[in-house]
Amino acid sequence: MTAGDGTVQVRGRDGSHAVVHHPGAVISAEDWTGAALGLGFQMATDRPGQLDFLRRSARGRLAQLVGRDALDADVRQRRLGLEAVARRCLTLLPPDQVRLLDAFTDGVNTALRQRGSAMTWAPVDCVHVAQVLFQAMGSNGSELHMTEVMRRSLPSAVVDFLLDAADGYATAPDGSPEVDVGVPLPLAELRVLFRQPADQSGGPVVADPRPAGSNAWAVAAPDGAVLANDMHLQLGDPALMYVVRLRVGETEVSGVTVPGLPVVLAGTNGRVAWGLTRLPGDTADLRSLGPQDLADVEVRRETIEIRGESPVTVEVTQSRWGPVTSTLAGEPVAFTATLLDPRALDFGLLRLCDAADVETALDIVNDCGLPPVNAIVADAAGRVGWTVGGRFPHRAEAGRPRGFSDAQEPVPYRFVPPHELPRLVGPPTGMVVNCNNGNHAVRRAGLAWNLPPGIRARRVAVGVDGGGRDAAAARDLQLDVDASCYEFYRDLALRYLPPEPRTAALREIREDVMAWGGTAHAREPGLALLTVFRELLREALVAAATGPARALDDRFTYCFAGAEGPLRRLVAAVPDGLVPAPWRDDRHFVVGQLLMARMMLLRDVGTDRLPQWGQRNRLHLVPLAGYPPEAVDLELSGCAETVRVAQPDYGAVMRLVVDLGRPGDSSVCIPGSPREGVPMAEAVRSWAVGYGQPLTVVPAGYSG
């Protein structure tokens, strides 16, 4: 019911009540159940199409909405059986969380009925939305498949080198550098592999891990603490994140979440602020199935409806070790993960809304059923902390690369107890930081091993040390585009390019590289060439080092997140004869990669001269099915290695800054408008240059 002042009164079947105040969509209620009711109503008012899209994504029912383009994704989801997992998860939730989901569902369905929609939401759909995040942030087993193939086909010294976790940018949770010692370069074994003819069949050998990540840090300030969090996922229309503002009694909570979730993923209650980053956890297992295992499998048929076409029937095979999702050397391979464990997911994160200090908040995060995450926390007393959240399988070997699991290992998982998860509170540096990078504490605890380098975390730590400790400084650092990590490849190019090139192509390459200013600004010359140059070097060198792996498995890919360390050592060994066939020597090889990089850029960008960075790094939004997007074509500053992460279709789905000492300086920024059907081009342009909005909005006439 809408009042004359623009507020909306919402009542649930259980008697719960909420008021949605406009403008600002501030939801007030007597308790968190009522707040969930109002939140469900407001989300279904603003984002009904996105709610449907997200739940269909988990269930494998997108093709029914968008057609054949979604068929492969639907087949994958049906094989995983997430619908059955979600139903079991719902039966395991504590009663207070069930009430929360029931109230949220009432709010969604109330709004849908008012819109005349035939769609109906159910509590299990909230679980499905959580599963979408689990899947985006968790392991799909690709790193296990990679390791198994390498161990079956390559010398052990080569495997250890290619999966070496040593990181020249290693950064501890308190922002200080960590020292890593790398394994020896197996030059003799690599020379043997490099002499073998290159396999030109199939696709690329190197595959970057799936793009999902975040930056987060918190720093003690003179009158409190400042927390910054920007989450990186696929960019789309509408934006993935949704701004939340709740008032329950004297508690005011502001932050962001994903439509369909009745919890605040990152935000503040005025006493505590929290933010999350992805932790690429060791949360999956693959197992080869022998004849005896296959004798016990269950096979069922799934019918997938396709818009505008006849339905497709697929066979789904379930073993005692999980669904069969792939093969290796002719043997079926079963997959399992915390994604498929109904005990691993809950909605306990809502308890952060009542947290009073850092320790309480860290305890809550440790005990939540989440995707594997790092949590950065700060409180109004000026204390900061870091820990991890999620359910982590107990591993016998801590922090080492794993391939396939032994058939005797226990299923279901035995989880690491919450009190054994690592944490750090109040470090002398006055700072905590994580940008998806690994650290010694996480590796020692056996929580993860396929971790990205600490390039972004190191840059954040340096920026905090050298800058201010207020909200304005945090926003500036979120937009930092320092790309000095590419100096290695610039220096390599200039070392091999002749000082006075004879050909026009080489002259252009040298001028372009020398003009690069060290950043990933959209107007920078040189970086586009350097990024493609690096990709080509990596592909050629890794393909030469892993030829037998591709011979064993023609779908083999090297998806090691820490590949930068081994790559730089391979490049450094090129003058020692580590040159892939059929190149004659190191100079021909390096200059050849530069010429190919130029040719590929000119072809892809469609210009007759080397492009500036933004001409290659253009944003093209992915529209939601059935939702007409407004055309947005932007040149983006930033890249995967800068604090300001930006790639085509991928970047910061939100930027949040909380200043607990000066709440009015807190801000939030999302790449788009809050509602479907509203032109969003201007909002995306504002996001691209870093403009945000106040985090807390007080509605006119609101008296508290």
| Dist. CA 285–CA 341, nearest whole Å | 12
Tell me: is residue 311 an annotated ligand-binding position: no
CA distances (Å), 678 to each of 46, 181, 673, in order?
A: 10, 53, 7
| Dist. CA 5–CA 2, nearest whole Å | 8
Beta bridge partners of 387: 375, 423
Distant-in-sequence contacts of 607-610, Cβ < 8 A, 24+ apart: 609/508, 610/508, 610/509, 610/512, 610/525, 610/528, 610/529
Residues catalogued as catalytic = 214
Per-residue buried b or exposed e for 382-408, using 16+ beta carbons within 10 Å of the residue's own CB: bbbbbbbbbbbbebeeebebbbbbeee
Q: Which among 244, 243, 245, 250 is positioned nearest to 30, based on CA atoms?
A: 250
Tell me: is residue 282 an annotated ligand-binding position: yes
Cis peptide before 412 (omega within 30 of 0): yes
Tell me: is residue 285 an annotated ligand-binding position: yes
Query: 578: Cβ–Cβ under 8 A, 6 or more apart, which residues?
Result: 187, 190, 191, 194, 541, 570
Q: Which among 629, 632, 634 is positioned nearest to 238, based on CA atoms?
A: 629
Consecutive H or E run containing 44: helix 32-46
CB 144 within 8 A of CB 167: no
| Dist. CA 106–CA 100, nearest whole Å | 10
| Dist. CA 560–CA 143, nearest whole Å | 7
Q: What DSSP string runs through 57-121?
A: HHHT--HHHH-GGGHHHHHHHHHHTHHHHHHHHHHHS-HHHHHHHHHHHHHHHHHHHHHT-----
Query: 136: Cβ–Cβ under 8 A, 6 or more apart, which residues?
Result: 210, 212, 233, 371
CA distances (Å), 658 to each of 128, 130, 652, in order?
A: 29, 25, 17
Q: Which residues are part of a known binding site for Ca(2+)?
A: 282, 285, 401
Q: Which residues are part of a known binding site?
A: 282, 285, 401
